Copies of this chain bind each other. A is one copy, B any other.
């Protein structure tokens, strides 16, 4: 399970340079926060299911028997709010995670990289809190949204600059 060699042969030196491996602390940090964000995204499905149960809003005829609902329904505000939050996750968390992976592979400053990953991921956790769980007045949601948005942009800009010669 451990892929980080500890002796000091030339092999080791080169191996340290494999950026997308657990021996790179930045990659370890990325792996930790990716797992947390993936878990958070999965929870959105459960939140949607809970809202559907509570309001008996089912979109498929084959789901009606579970809740003894008479017919399919759409557009319940509670269900739609969770679904909008979930879609916002797809639009922002997935690009953030993919972008961060590529950013880690570009060999950024370790301190900066770990800070960006931690802040970007935490902001998305906060975004779900203020959007789907406890709706609070703006600009709470906008601030959480633009934090991750700006970090993803910065990472993209950094990699574009790094890899411009491979265009």
In the assembly, how many copies of this chain are there?
3
Interchain CB contact under 8 A, B92 and A94: no
Interchain CB contact under 8 A, A162 and B1: yes
Interchain CB contact under 8 A, A62 and B14: no
Assuming the contacts A15-B14, A22-B107, asked whether A160 and B1 have C-beta atoms less than 8 A apart, the reply is no
Interface residues on A, range: 35 or more
Provide the bound-state CA to CA distance between A108 and B167, in Å: 18
Main secondary structure of the interface of A (DSSP, over half): helix
**Which chain B residues lie closer than 8 Å to A14 at the CB level?**
5, 11-12, 14-15
Provide the bound-state CA to CA distance between A142 and B7, in Å: 50
A143 at interface, CB cutoff 8 A: no
